[in-house]
């Protein structure tokens, strides 16, 4: 890895050597993996960390006093400090380990929402939301008699700022928006959104599932109240992620789940709850994957998000220009401010057929509504084909995608 560290440009071939899966073939073709917005592939350091834990110090954490338990606990808490640094949080007490973005959003919706929302209150979401940042708020709004309001977008997928300003009022209690859209790649103006929401006394949560891997995150500079992300989007294991919350808010919120670890004392009659962050971490957690999240974040940080982002921007620009040359192809979310996601439709060809025929050539893309069905309805399409790029993708792989799509056109038109 030394040859890719502290560089202004990315040595992609050296990076690719760190990802064992990129050596495999699919249906007789070299794998071209362009489904990174769904999940990223894992570098060897992450895989090694999982093997190391299970091979050498597998034990439950925070409870045992034996050597294995102490080693596992130390490694687990080291990840919490790494996440704190990765997000720019003030304290590890503000970092709650979760299974990922979805659980983080649900935690806030059910814990903060149940304790604070009442009939007539309003929750504002954007039209770009993933189901995981829409359904929990719909559920809690129905339970509490609150109302969910949706900020419209332009046909290109950009946040309608004027409409948002008109929605804000003293009834607005919570705003939850995606930082960067998984379906279109569009980046929301979250700093302005947070400032405007705070001006009317509302709290703000950011869905950072996509932004965490592509953008520099500083929750204190953003001044968001909550931020959730998934480790598997940032080259880490599945089932491990984190929720950031401002300490005062987390301290005032009731526990999300009851059980071991989240308690201080339990009697037959009553229970007192643990301090942060453990109040929100009931039961035996996903120890191995959380431990392996640290080397994933370290891997990204060692290369530098600015270096990775520059490489991904080159891929996105090249792919966008080449895709536009294909007859009958339309890019959805064709805006300047976006992460390395290109989502498109092709006249007369269903996205699922595109996905199947590309897979037959070893090319992995995502097709469908991308867990953003309301957004697809807003755009008046059944779904899209989505190519999403990571640090290990190459211009040659973009060329493979273009050749593959040309074959699709010849076959189906």
> Does residue 41 contact residue 33 with C-beta atoms inside 8 Å?
yes
The residues near 265 (Cβ < 8 Å, ≥ 6 apart) are 271, 272
* Beta pairing class for 366-368 and 384-388: antiparallel
359 in helix, strand or coil?
A: helix
Q: Which of 371, 376, 381, 402 is catalytic?
A: 371
Element (H, E) at 332: strand 329-332
Smallest Cα–Cα separation from 305: which of 341, 336, 342, 340?
340
With tokens 């990922």, the residue in question is 100
Question: Alpha helices of 205-286 — where are they, by DSSP H?
Answer: 211-214, 219-222, 247-252
Neighbours of 225 (CB within 10 A): 25
With tokens 């987390």, the residue in question is 250
Q: Say whether 380 is catalytic.
A: no
Structure tokens at 211: 């932004």
Q: Which residues pair with 329 in a beta bridge?
A: 346
Active site residues: 371
């Amino acid at each position: 890895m030394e040859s890719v560290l502290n560089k202004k440009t990315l040595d992609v071939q050296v990076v690719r050597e760190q990802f064992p899966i990129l050596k495999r073939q699919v249906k007789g073709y070299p794998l071209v993996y362009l489904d990174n917005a769904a999940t990223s592939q894992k570098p060897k350091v992450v895989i090694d960390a999982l093997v190391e834990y299970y091979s050498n110090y597998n034990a439950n954490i925070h409870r045992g006093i034996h050597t294995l338990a102490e080693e596992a606990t130390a490694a687990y808490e080291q990840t919490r400090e790494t996440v704190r640094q990765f997000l720019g949080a003030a304290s590890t007490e503000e970092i709650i380990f979760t299974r990922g973005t979805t659980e983080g959003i649900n935690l806030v919706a059910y814990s903060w929402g149940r304790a604070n929302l009442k009939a007539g209150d309003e929750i504002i979401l954007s039209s770009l939301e993933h189901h995981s940042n829409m359904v929990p708020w719909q559920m809690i709004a129905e339970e509490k008699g609150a109302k969910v309001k949706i900020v419209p977008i332009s046909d290109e997928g950009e946040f309608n700022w004027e409409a948002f300003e008109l929605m804000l009022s003293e009834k607005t209690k919570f705003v939850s928006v995606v930082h960067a859209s998984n379906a279109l790649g569009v980046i929301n103006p979250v700093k302005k959104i947070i400032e405007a929401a705070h001006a009317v006394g509302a709290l703000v949560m950011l869905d950072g599932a996509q932004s965490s891997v592509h953008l520099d995150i500083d929750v204190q500079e953003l001044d968001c109240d909550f931020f959730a992300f998934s480790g598997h989007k940032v080259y880490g294991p599945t089932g491990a992620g984190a929720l950031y919350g401002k300490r005062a808010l987390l301290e005032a919120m009731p526990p999300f789940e009851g059980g071991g670890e989240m308690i201080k004392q339990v009697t037959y009659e009553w229970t007192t709850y643990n301090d942060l962050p453990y109040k929100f971490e009931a039961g035996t957690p996903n120890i191995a994957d959380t431990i392996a999240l640290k080397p994933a974040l370290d891997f990204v940080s060692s290369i530098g998000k600015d270096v990775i982002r520059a490489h991904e921007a080159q891929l996105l620009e090249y792919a966008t220009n080449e895709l536009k040359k294909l007859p009958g192809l339309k890019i959805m979310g064709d805006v300047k401010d976006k992460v390395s996601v290109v989502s498109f439709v092709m006249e007369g060809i269903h996205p699922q057929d595109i996905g199947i025929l590309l897979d037959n050539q070893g090319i992995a893309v995502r097709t469908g509504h991308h867990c953003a069905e309301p957004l697809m309805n807003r755009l008046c399409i059944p779904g899209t084909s989505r190519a999403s790029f990571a640090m290990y993708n190459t211009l040659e792989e973009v060329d493979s995608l273009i050749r593959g799509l040309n074959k699709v056109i010849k076959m189906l038109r």
